[in-house]
Amino acid sequence: MRVLGISGSLRRGSHNTALLRDAGELVEAEGAEFAIYDSWREVPIYDEDLDVETPHPAVARMRAAVRAADAVFFATPEYNSSVPGGLKNTIDWLSRPSLAESALRNKPVAVVGASTGAFGATWAQAELRKVLAAAGARVVDGEVAVGHAMDRFDQNGHLNDENLEGQVREVVRTLLAEIESGLVRPAA
């Protein structure tokens, strides 16, 4: 099983990327593969005129990477009470030009989030779940809200809070279970 990680923040010292790395180690501890995909920084702003049979190479690469993954694990910050524009742009490219062709269609996805405020990007997480479901993804239950993120990671970038770590592990297991339940298709 291959899980792709997407952090909604591209900043080098991003708390969400740290959270995603932590989740990635938990994915690997469960026996699955994990890789962070940060090349979404290269895709242009969505423009239907650009969404042609041979789209921008960065778009083609990103869609292929998501299609090849068994699941996608998102970690999002919260900008202006919502999903960062760049991350939303990524999902727009993945899900268009038609929902039937969405790279996220039926894809198991999980969402967690971190913020330096008290609430751990809970609004952004809720909006991201809504957007992903509308994009045809199979959004698993489970939320991890890492508030006061500047105090929640040790010097190696690992969560220093066992409770939060346990919550991330639970979301990882739920996501992997969702992949496995799809591997055995019910009879038509």
Partner 1 sequence: MSITETEALPAGAWAVDKIHSNVGFSVAYMAGTFTGTFSDFDAVVADGALNGSAKVASVQVKDPNLEAHLQSPEFFDAERNPELRFASGSIERDGDRVRINGEITIKGRSEPLQITGSISDPIADQYGGERFGLRLEAVVARDRFGLSWNNPLPSGEPALADEVTITAELQLAKQG
Q: Does 98 bind partner 1 (CB under 8 A)?
A: yes
**Region of 82-90, 98-106, 145-153, 157-165 interacting with partner 1 (CB under 8 A):** 98-106
Residue 181: what are its φ and ψ, rounded to 5°?
Answer: -65, -25
Query: What burial class does residue 59 get, using C-beta atoms within 10 Å of its C-beta: 0-12 exposed, 13-18 middle, 19+ buried?
Result: buried
Q: Does 155 bind partner 1 (CB under 8 A)?
A: no
Q: Does 134 bind partner 1 (CB under 8 A)?
A: yes
Q: How far apart are CA 63 and CA 40, in angstroms?
A: 10
Residue from 91, 128, 139, 145 binding partner 1 (CB under 8 A) = 139
Least separation in angstroms between residue 60's CB and partner 1 is: 21
Q: Does 183 bind partner 1 (CB under 8 A)?
A: no
Q: How far apart are CA 160 and CA 156, in angstroms?
A: 10
Q: How far apart are CA 118 and CA 125, in angstroms?
A: 14
Which positions touch partner 1 (CB under 8 A)?
98-100, 102, 105-106, 133-134, 136-139, 181-182, 185-186, 188
